Amino acid sequence: MSTRYGQHQTDVQVDCEWATLDVTIHWTLDRDDYQDLVSIDKITVGDKDLHEGWNVPYFEEIIWDEVMAGEDYLPTDHGD
């Protein structure tokens, strides 16, 4: 049985003016009494953490649109 809440990783490609980058979004899904809460822990390219200086709301939107909306969400995407 997979765990929906907790820490996760999602691999995505992002475009910028000068390149397309393969990045990994490290994020945590929590909940309060009313809603699910997504927080971005770090954004990595390879082994480099590039969280500082990136548009974090953009990456939160990717998680909400691509994972949480169920567009390509499978319970097995996030391990046991």
Looking up tokens 């953490």 gives 49
In a domain, 14, yes or no: yes
In a domain, 79, yes or no: no
Residue 30 belongs to what H/E stretch?
strand 20-31
In a domain, 1, yes or no: no
Helix, strand or coil, per DSSP, at residue 22: strand
Q: How far is CA 13 from CA 10, 21, 22, in A?
A: 10, 5, 5
The predicted pLDDT at position 55 comes to 86
The predicted pLDDT at position 71 comes to 44
Per-residue pLDDT of the chain (80 residues; tens, 9 = 90+): 346 788 999 999 988 888 898 999 999 998 888 888 899 999 999 888 887 778 889 999 988 887 777 644 555 555 54
Count of domains forming the chain: 1
The predicted pLDDT at position 12 comes to 92
Report pTM: 0.75
Domain encompassing residue 12: 6-74
In a domain, 47, yes or no: yes
